[in-house]
């Protein structure tokens, strides 16, 4: 009776297949998590600004007190409450970078978060004294970071579930010469 031997290393083939699957899943998760994280960060910053009482100048009526030139600039560039997110895919380093924040008026929003010293925004320092010019910070960035630290693991787990349940949707398409 002849003995049958398997001349194929099944364990090695399984390891190769799992390595390819693992690489595809990691790349798909990385791209999906970057998109979701950017969007969630921008929305969280916007919500925390509103929760801290920061409202648009058009909503408070102070927009009409600006000069015509400043009103035109505000209409062109938008409000500091407008947030955006961008995922920048760097090809040579093979990594994604996520930017989230305010629009072109981000310097105003940053000062609003940290507080500023500006003579236009006088604040009372006590009974009868209005000589101080410190504007306290609202600290909405720190509040947003707390929320994101708490929510990021859930977001990553949800993306992992979605990628694992629909692997064909996230399969990497390789092109020759690219």
Tell whether 106 is covered by a domain.
yes
Condensed to tens digits (0 to 9), the pLDDT of residues 63-100 reads 888 889 988 988 887 777 788 888 887 777 777 778 88
Tell whether 30 is covered by a domain.
yes
Tell whether 177 is covered by a domain.
no
Contact 54, 113 (CB under 8 A): no
Tell whether 70 is covered by a domain.
yes
Condensed to tens digits (0 to 9), the pLDDT of residues 101-126 reads 877 677 777 888 888 776 555 555 55
DSSP string, 89-130: EETTTTEEEEEEEE-TTHHHHHHHHHEEE-TTS-B--BTTB-
Contact 32, 98 (CB under 8 A): no
Q: Residue 55 in 3-state DSSP?
A: coil
Q: Is the pTM of this model over 0.75?
A: no
Range(s) of the domain holding residue 24: 15-165
Tell whether 104 is covered by a domain.
yes
41's enclosing H/E stretch is helix 10-51
Please state the domain count of the chain.
1
Tell whether 79 is covered by a domain.
yes
């Amino acid at each position: 009776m002849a003995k049958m031997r398997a001349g194929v290393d099944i364990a090695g083939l399984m390891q190769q297949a799992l390595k390819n699957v693992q690489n595809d899943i990691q790349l798909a998760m990385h791209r999906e998590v970057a998109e979701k994280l950017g969007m969630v960060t921008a929305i969280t910053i916007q919500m925390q600004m509103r929760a801290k009482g920061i409202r648009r100048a058009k909503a408070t009526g102070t927009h009409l007190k600006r000069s015509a030139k400043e009103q035109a600039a505000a209409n062109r560039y938008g409000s500091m409450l407008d947030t955006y997110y961008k995922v920048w895919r760097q090809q040579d380093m093979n990594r994604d970078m996520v930017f989230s924040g305010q629009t072109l008026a981000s310097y105003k929003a940053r000062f609003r978060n940290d507080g500023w010293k500006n003579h236009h925004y006088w604040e009372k320092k006590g009974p009868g004294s209005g000589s101080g010019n410190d504007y306290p910070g609202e600290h909405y960035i720190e509040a947003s970071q707390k929320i994101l630290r708490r929510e990021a693991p859930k977001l990553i787990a949800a993306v992992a579930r979605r990628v694992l349940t629909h692997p064909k949707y996230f399969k990497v398409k390789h092109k020759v010469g690219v």
